[in-house]
């Protein structure tokens, strides 16, 4: 099959005010906000993130870790019973566990280019389906949860991931306690959270920061 060509032409995203009024358009790189590619990368990225979250602390005791059982239960021959060397044998009640789980590290890393491509695919999916809201600003007079909730309600958001960049510290403090939404610093941008929330919200400055971050990938 012929290789699919990436859409490198710029994408124009609607730009909203804090009152959910369209005030213009923001032109961004198509390779970041209008990407079309292998969706299996999304599955691989989410699978990696969930694996990295596993604590890996499940542990069972083998025969050597259980106390007691140091004395031979009965002599080797002459009793008519099977040979036994310890009461902590795995075939005995209260014995050890054979091949049980042990503490381990489940984390792994996917290639950096694949991870970046998956992030661009996730963002592009929200933009393509009209679930990406780019606003002029998320400034608040004071970091109050009530004010943050009112601002998000004006945008008509129900279950949104709010991506914040530099200068959005007040909104980060105000919205972090909202149960229906999640605020995330730009440094923590990840595939799982983008796909886990129905809407994605960011300021125009944050959108340009994302474009600059993936400038090499866009080329």
pLDDT score for 151: 87
pLDDT score for 2: 43
* Local mean pLDDT, 10-residue blocks, the chain (219 residues): 56 85 88 90 97 95 90 94 93 93 95 94 94 89 88 89 85 88 92 95 92 69
Query: Quick count: other Cβ atoms within 10 Å of Cβ 218?
Result: 19
Instruction: Report d(CA 6, CA 156) in Å as an integer.
Output: 32
pLDDT score for 7: 54
pLDDT score for 4: 47
Instruction: Report d(CA 88, CA 68) in Å as an integer.
Output: 7
Strands laid side by side in the 199-203 sheet: 22-28, 11-16, 132-135, 199-203, 160-164, 182-185
pLDDT score for 6: 54
pLDDT score for 218: 43
Locus of tokens 């140091």: 70
């Amino acid at each position: 099959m012929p290789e699919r060509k990436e859409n490198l032409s710029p994408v124009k995203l609607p730009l909203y005010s804090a009152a959910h009024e369209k005030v213009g358009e923001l032109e961004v790189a198509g390779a970041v906000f209008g990407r079309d590619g292998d969706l299996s990368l999304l599955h691989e990225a989410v699978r990696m993130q969930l694996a990295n979250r596993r604590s890996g602390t499940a542990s069972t005791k083998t025969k050597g870790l259980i106390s007691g059982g140091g004395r031979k239960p009965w002599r080797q021959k002459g009793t008519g019973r099977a040979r036994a060397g310890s009461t902590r044998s795995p075939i005995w009640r209260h014995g050890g566990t054979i091949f049980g789980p042990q503490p381990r590290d489940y984390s792994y890393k996917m290639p950096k280019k694949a991870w970046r491509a998956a992030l661009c695919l996730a963002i592009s999916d929200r933009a393509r389906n009209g679930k990406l809201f780019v606003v002029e600003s998320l400034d608040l007079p004071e970091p109050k949860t009530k004010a943050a909730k009112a601002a998000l309600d004006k945008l008509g958001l129900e279950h949104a991931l709010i991506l914040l960049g530099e200068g959005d510290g007040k909104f980060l403090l105000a919205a972090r306690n909202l149960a229906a939404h999640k605020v995330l610093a730009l440094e923590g941008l990840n595939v799982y959270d983008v796909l886990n929330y129905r809407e994605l919200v960011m300021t125009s400055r944050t959108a340009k920061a994302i474009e600059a971050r993936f400038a090499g990938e866009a080329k």
